[in-house]
Amino acid sequence: MYLQLLKEYLSQKIEEGDYRTAQRIAMEGLADEPYDTDLSMYQIICMFQLGNRSLARNYYNKVELELTDEQRDMIDKYRK
pLDDT tens-digit map of 47-57: 999 999 999 99
pLDDT tens-digit map of 66-78: 999 999 999 999 8
Give the count of domains, the chain: 1
Let me know: does 26 contact 7? Beta carbons within 8 Å. Answer: no
Average pLDDT, the chain: 95
Instruction: Assign 3-state DSSP to the chain and report helix, strand, coil percentages, each to 5.
Output: 85, 0, 15
User: Which CATH number belongs to the domain containing residue 39 in this structure?
Assistant: 1.25.40
pLDDT tens-digit map of 8-27: 999 999 999 999 999 999 99
Give the residue numbers spanning the domain of 17.
2-79
CA distances from 52 to 3, 22, 27, 47, 79 (A): 25, 14, 15, 5, 11
Q: What is the pTM of this model?
A: 0.94
Separation between Cα atoms, residue 40 and residue 67, nearest integer Å: 9
